[in-house]
């Protein structure tokens, strides 16, 4: 049998990093009032196709099939993205609820790889804030994403901000047919030369110059402040400004708040992304100053005020904003060195129910304090004590309290005394 390794596997070491990221993510979600949900792995295909939420390039990579039994021959898909699924979930469970809802999730996605020879499984941690239209909601998700990445050990991250609807409105002002508009936006999205296309389509030079002003990446010093957006006003004529004034003011408001949080960012209107449901500010957080591949993207998100309302055919829009963390791209940066120092062995060589229950109690107590503890039914040899930050022996026949610390390599004596009382080395 020809055995092949799967690129979708997560190794033991990767799982340790995964769990550390997941724990920090869920902790931050609790801080900001997000409740965890799980959406179905298999969803009706139409929730991804009917609303134009996904670009053709992404739709072409969906793994879909006919469900002949469960849904009466309807075409279904392994979900490639969670946001439409959360919009579906909201409508199923809160159809008449106008209050705000904050959801978070840790889920896997499926998408044919670019090579086309195997299915790629991707894991994401994500949040969706449905019902809030305030700029503070946009700031909240950007701050959360940056804070989580910082706390898992990433020292250098690069925040890029964009507002795809502004570019869409400027292209709409060219009065071209839908096919030509789509080509222009696709060219910008792919980072290709859009200027030649504007000439070929006979776009008015003044309007073409305005678009070029937005898409030209300014100097770093000008790009780290909302003042840059303020200055862009003067490059626009009145008709263009009227079309995008509300969006620009919203973008400026968001950047002002990020300035007050001392968050450094780069404004790059070329960042349109792979998803078409964004209606407001969009962001990406990269592990490098420039994006060389998809592996450089640590997090992505933004505002999508039309998706949920359109999905459920509501007369009013349902404001929403969210982000996703790309777990496979993040876990190489997650440090587990300190976790190994905190590795604790609780040995129960005298096996009895009372001793095992005491060992489990110790495991839970230590885990709640951030330590990694495991139970062993055999004794640890003294020469192997160095493999553990702490070795605890559990035996009610020998110790009045049922346990004793035999060895401490990495965990301080003062902490041990606070946890276990008087510390006595054997």
> Can you tell me the mean pLDDT for 181-186?
91
Q: Which residues pair with 393 in a beta bridge?
A: 347, 404
Which one is the CATH code of 337-420: 1.20.120, 3.40.50, 3.30.1490, 2.60.40?
3.40.50
Residue 204's pLDDT is 92
> Can you tell me the mean pLDDT for 332-350?
78
> Can you tell me the mean pLDDT for 28-46?
95
Domain 12-333 part of CATH 3.90.420.10: no
Structure-model confidence comparison of residues 389 and 223, the more confident one: 389
Residue 382's pLDDT is 93
Among 114-123, 164-173, 340-349, 414-423, top mean pLDDT goes to 164-173
Residue 389 pLDDT level (bands cut at 50, 70, 90): confident
Which candidate, 263, 275, 333, 342, places its Cα nearest to that of 306? 275
> Can you tell me the mean pLDDT for 70-85?
85
In the block, tokens 């991804």 appear at: 48
Residue 338's pLDDT is 53
Are 258 and 265 a contacting pair, CB within 8 Å?
yes
Residues of the chain with CATH 3.40.50: 337-420
DSSP element (H, E) containing 253: helix 238-260
- pLDDT tens for 10-30 read 998 899 899 999 999 999 999
Residues of the chain with CATH 3.30.930.10: 12-333
- The length of the chain in residues reads 426
Torsion, Cα of 196, 199, 200, 203 (10° steps)? 130
Residue 425's pLDDT is 45
Residue 112 pLDDT level (bands cut at 50, 70, 90): confident
For the stretch 65-101, what's the b/e string if a residue is b when 16 or more beta carbons lie within 10 angstroms of its beta carbon?
eebeeeeeeeebbbbbbbbbbbbbbbbeeeeeeeeeb
Distance, in Å, from the CA atom of 346 to the CA atom of 375, rounded to the nearest integer, reads 5
Residue 423's pLDDT is 44
Distance, in Å, from the CA atom of 99 to the CA atom of 122, rounded to the nearest integer, reads 32
Q: Is 229 left (phi over 0), alpha (psi -120 to 50) or beta?
A: alpha
Residue 3's pLDDT is 55
Number of Cβ within 10 Å of residue 16's Cβ equals 17
- pLDDT tens for 403-421 read 998 988 766 655 666 666 5
Structure-model confidence comparison of residues 369 and 173, the more confident one: 173
- pLDDT tens for 114-129 read 654 566 889 999 999 9
Residue 372 pLDDT level (bands cut at 50, 70, 90): confident
Residue 316 pLDDT level (bands cut at 50, 70, 90): confident
Residue 185's pLDDT is 92
Are 23 and 336 a contacting pair, CB within 8 Å?
no
Residue 221's pLDDT is 53
DSSP element (H, E) containing 245: helix 238-260
Distance, in Å, from the CA atom of 22 to the CA atom of 124, rounded to the nearest integer, reads 10
Laid out side by side, the sheet with 35-36 consists of 35-36, 101-112, 119-130, 320-326, 297-303, 282-286, 158-162, 266-267
385: phi then psi, degrees, rounded to nearest 5: -60, -30
Distance, in Å, from the CA atom of 10 to the CA atom of 7, rounded to the nearest integer, reads 8
- Which pTM was predicted? 0.83
- pLDDT tens for 258-314 read 999 889 999 999 998 777 788 999 999 999 988 778 889 999 999 999 999 888 888
CA 404 to chain centre: 43
Residue 50's pLDDT is 75
Structure-model confidence comparison of residues 233 and 351, the more confident one: 351
SS3 371: coil
> Can you tell me the mean pLDDT for 102-107?
98
Interhelix angle 164-172/178-189, nearest 10 degrees? 140
Residue 424's pLDDT is 45
DSSP element (H, E) containing 282: strand 282-286
Residue 58 pLDDT level (bands cut at 50, 70, 90): confident
- pLDDT tens for 220-231 read 555 567 888 888
The mean predicted confidence, pLDDT, of the chain is 87
Are 235 and 213 a contacting pair, CB within 8 Å?
yes
Q: Please state whether beta strands 64-67 and 266-267 pair in parallel, antiparallel, or not at all (unpaired).
A: unpaired
Residue 412's pLDDT is 60
Residue 410's pLDDT is 63
């Amino acid at each position: 049998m020809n055995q092949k390794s799967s690129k979708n596997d997560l190794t033991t070491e990767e799982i340790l990093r995964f769990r550390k990221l997941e724990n920090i993510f869920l902790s931050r979600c609790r801080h900001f009032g997000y409740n965890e949900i799980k959406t179905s792995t298999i969803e009706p295909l139409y929730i991804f196709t009917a609303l134009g939420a996904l670009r053709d390039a992404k739709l072409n990579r969906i793994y879909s099939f006919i469900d002949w039994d469960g849904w009466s021959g309807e075409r279904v898909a392994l979900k490639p993205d969670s946001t439409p699924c959360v919009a579906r979930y909201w409508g199923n469970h809160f159809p008449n609820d106008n209050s705000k809802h904050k959801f978070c999730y840790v889920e896997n996605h499926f998408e044919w790889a670019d090579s086309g020879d195997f299915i790629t499984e991707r894991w994401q941690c994500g949040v969706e804030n449905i019902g809030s239209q305030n700029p503070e909601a946009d700031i909240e998700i950007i701050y959360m994403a940056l804070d989580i990445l910082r706390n898992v050990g990433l020292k250098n991250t690069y925040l890029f901000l964009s507002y795809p609807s502004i570019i869409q409105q400027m292209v709409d002002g060219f009065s071209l047919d839908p096919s030509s508009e789509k080509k222009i936006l696709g060219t910008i999205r792919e980072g290709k030369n859009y200027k030649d296309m504007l000439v070929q389509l006979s776009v008015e030079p003044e309007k073409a110059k305005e678009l070029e002003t937005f898409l030209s990446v300014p100097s770093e010093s000008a790009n780290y402040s909302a003042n840059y957006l303020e200055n862009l006003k003067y490059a626009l004529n009145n008709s263009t400004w009227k079309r995008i004034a509300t969006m620009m003011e919203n973008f400026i408001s968001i950047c002002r708040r990020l300035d007050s949080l001392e968050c450094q960012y780069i404004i790059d209107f070329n960042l349109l992304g792979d998803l078409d449901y964004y209606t407001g500010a969009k962001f990406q957080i990269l592990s490098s100053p420039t994006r060389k591949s998809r592996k450089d993207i640590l997090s992505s998100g933004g505002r999508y005020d039309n998706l949920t309302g359109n999905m459920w055919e509501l007369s009013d829009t349902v404001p929403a904003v969210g982000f996703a963390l790309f777990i496979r791209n993040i876990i190489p940066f997650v440090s587990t060195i300190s976790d190994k120092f905190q590795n604790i062995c609780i040995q129960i060589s005298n096996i009895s129910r009372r001793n095992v229950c005491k060992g489990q109690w110790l495991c839970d107590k230590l885990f709640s304090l951030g330590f990694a503890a495991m139970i062993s039914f055999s004794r640890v040899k003294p020469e192997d004590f160095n493999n553990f930050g702490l070795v605890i022996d559990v035996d009610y026949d020998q110790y009045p309290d049922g346990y004793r610390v035999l060895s401490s390599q990495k965990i301080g004596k003062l902490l041990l005394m606070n946890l276990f009382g008087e510390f006595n080395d054997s």
